[in-house]
Amino acid sequence: MGSPGAGKGTLAVELAARGVEHLSTGDLFRAEIERKTPLGGRIKTALDRGELAPDELTLGLMRKWFWGRPAGRGFVLDGFPRTLIQARCFDEWLEARNEVLSACVFLELGEEATVKRLSGRRICPWDGRVYHIEHRPPAIEETCDDCGGSLVRREDDAETVVRRRYRLYLKKSRPVAKYYRDQGLLRFYDADRRPAEIVSDLLSAYQPTPTIS
């Protein structure tokens, strides 16, 4: 979990490379928008405004994923739960399947650093790879290293939208950090460090169990 652009996706991909299933609600939503379904239309309206997707809709998609997977297999969730309602509901699902969370990894970056960082993010619309013009530039400017596609900026990375996302994060997601802190599960990381350092700290505290052979 964490503030917008703190590096949740970057870190989750590193963990997924160690064989752990990775699911990002942001990616799930963008795929739904891409499919141009009625649900995708509702999600797009919220995301374009820098708002959260409605809880009932997020929980509907996540419920389908959660109950469709074999019980007892590990996973890394990126961007879920993001509200107290989602966190409480998720706890009920886990309990119903006799599963427990190992950790809630929380990354935080200040607002100005967030605006600056997200202005440099570029994504490949074809394979989803994430770049940064300073921190993780592609070999050829504005071109995906893997598939050669042209890189784009996410629409919600415009400064006014980023600031709105940040305010919403403070209001909705910080209470979730407290919720997990009270359960002794919170691992809080300063996101203004190199991704490799954060991954190394995280792995020395917690070894994810590979779920994909």
Token code pair at residue 70: 């074999």
Q: Closest approach of Cβ 19 to ligand AP5, in Å?
A: 20
Convert 55-78 to b/e letters by CB count within 10 Å (16 or more is b). Answer: bebbbebbeeebeeeeeeeebbbb
Confirm whether 165 is a catalytic residue.
Answer: yes
Catalytic pick from 117, 121, 122, 129? 121
According to DSSP, the residues that pair with 149 across neighbouring strands are none
Catalytic pick from 8, 30, 117, 122? 8
Instruction: DSSP for 154-204, please give it.
Output: -GGGSHHHHHHHHHHIIIIIHHHHHHHHHTT-EEEEESSS-HHHHHHHHHH
**72 Rama class: left (phi>0) / alpha (psi -120 to 50) / beta:** left
Q: Closest approach of Cβ 25 to ligand AP5, in Å?
A: 3
**How many amino acids of this chain bind ligand AP5 (CB under 6 A)?**
34
Please tell me whether residue 195 binds ligand AP5 under the rule CB under 6 A.
Answer: yes
Catalytic pick from 30, 44, 122, 154? 154
String marking each residue 58-97 x if it binds ligand AP5 according to CB under 6 A:
x--------------------xx-x---x-----------
Confirm whether 154 is a catalytic residue.
Answer: yes
From 130-138, 140-148, 174-182, 199-207, give the range in contact with ligand AP5 by CB under 6 A: 130-138
Quick one: how far is CA 134 from the chain centroid?
Answer: 21
Work out which of 129, 151, 165, 208 binds ligand AP5, going by CB under 6 A.
165
Catalytic pick from 44, 82, 122, 129? 82
The answer to whether 66 and 93 have CB atoms below 8 angstroms apart is yes
Other residues' Cβ atoms within 10 Å of the Cβ of residue 213: 4
Please tell me whether residue 26 binds ligand AP5 under the rule CB under 6 A.
Answer: yes
Work out which of 18, 42, 132, 164 binds ligand AP5, going by CB under 6 A.
132
Task: State the Cα–Cα distance between residues 81 and 38, nearest whole angstrom.
Answer: 23
Confirm whether 171 is a catalytic residue.
Answer: no
Quick one: how far is CA 116 from the chain centroid?
Answer: 19
Q: Closest approach of Cβ 170 to ligand AP5, in Å?
A: 13
Reported as type and span, the H/E element at residue 119 is helix 111-119
Please tell me whether residue 9 binds ligand AP5 under the rule CB under 6 A.
Answer: yes
Q: Contact residues for ligand AP5 (CB under 6 A)?
A: 2, 4-10, 24-26, 29, 46-47, 51-53, 58, 79-80, 82, 86, 117, 121, 130, 132, 135-136, 156, 165, 191, 193-195
